[in-house]
Amino acid sequence: MTKEELCVRVAELNDIESKAASRRVVEHIISTIKEEVTAGNEVQVTGLGKFYPQKQEARSGVSPLGGKWSKPATTLPKFKASKAFKSAVGS
């Protein structure tokens, strides 16, 4: 499912006549999740899961070809599915 298909589904399920209005709703949800995770906060959506930032330490090593490499510390977005979501997909 694409974002556009999601917008159409949201419009259908909520009796929103304008596709543009449902697109704005979906965009606001996505941007809110991005803003909160970027700020270091966790976003928990009951029945779906939680979005959260996870820090990754700096690393370095040696490649099999003899070169050295290093990766600076970074923060990555993560998602953990809820039990309800996992059981719905798994059944």
Range of the domain at 30: 1-39
2, 13: one domain = yes
Domain count of the chain? 2
76, 34: one domain = no
pTM: 0.81
* pLDDT, mean of residues 48-74: 93
Provide Rg for the chain, Cα atoms: 19
* Residue closest to 3 by CA, chosen among 33, 18, 24, 17: 24
47, 33: one domain = no
pLDDT digit string, tens, across residues 4-24: 999 999 999 988 888 899 999
Coil vs helix vs strand at 76: strand
| Residue 80: predicted pLDDT | 97
